[in-house]
Amino acid sequence: MSREAILQVRDLVKRFSGFPALDGLSLAVGEGEVLGLVGPNGSGKTTAINVISGLIRPDGGSVQVGGRSASGLAAHQLARLGVNRTYQVPRPFVGLTVRQNVEVAAHYGGRGHAEADVDEVLAFVGLEGEADRPAGSLNSAQQKMLDLARALAARPRLLLVDELGAGLGPADLETVRARLAALAQRGVALVVVEHLMNFLASLTDRVVVMNAGRAIFEGDLTAAARDPQVVQVFLGG
């Protein structure tokens, strides 16, 4: 990769009761790059995001952010380094309003002096009209946008996006794609986990294909679709 790496993970291992969900995962993301992370269900994509964002600790390997060791840091510490993520299944504080959810994230996840403008973030994700509603009353597409807002409130330099498009209709999907493209345009590096190939094709610079907890391919999406090992993993599994 020509650009300086904002994220470098090497040989990550994570076991659940002995089962290796991550089994030597290495990958890098450049400053401002959009990396697609794909792979069959159970290949370890969410676990990778959970480890990189500090939600769970790895059993081995290293994580570097901006060239410095970030191994073993907790989620709030990584947020201060500029790393944040969305969840495959969003979990807002259902009793708080939409605005309060974003305020909490800005306060506890933010990079101190660089606290985001909550109104701007709500407008960016299209929730400005829902700001005073309880988060629990949002539909699932809106909950995904609230989760994105919560992540953006910490002003990430690297945003890890876990299946934000899953379950959305074509119109909502295009809106999400455009929002992620706008973030990339502003220089935010993205790791995008998604099964939808058209979505990835128009958004990503490069993809990493995972299988059984490790990377089996790295390159552009068109080349991935022609790679015999990638084809085998998707069609033979």
Mention every residue, 6+ apart, whose C-beta is less than 8 A from residue 208: 27, 35, 36, 37, 38, 215, 217, 218
- Least distance to ligand ADP from the beta carbon of 212, Å? 9
Q: Which does 101 bind (CB under 5 to 8 A by kind): ligand ADP, Mg ion, none?
A: none
For ligand ADP, the closer CB: 82 or 165:
165
Q: What is the DSSP letter of 129?
A: G
| Total interface residues for Mg ion by CB under 5 A | 3
Closest contact distance (angstroms) between CB of 98 and ligand ADP is 27
In degrees rounded to 5, what are phi and psi of residue 67? 85, 0
Q: Which of residues 213-232 bind ligand ADP (CB under 6 A)?
A: none
Q: What are phi and psi of 83, to 5 degrees?
A: -110, 125
Which of 6, 33, 47, 118 is close enough to bind ligand ADP by CB under 6 A? 47
**Residue 173's closest CA among 202, 149, 131, 153?**
202
Among positions 43-82, residues that touch Mg ion (CB under 5 A) are 45-46
Closest CA to 85 of 157, 13, 140: 157
Q: Write the binding mask 6 to 45 for ligand ADP: x where contact by CB under 6 A, - elsewhere.
A: ----------x----x-----------------x-xxxxx
Q: Site residues (CB under 6 A) for ligand ADP?
A: 16, 21, 39, 41-47
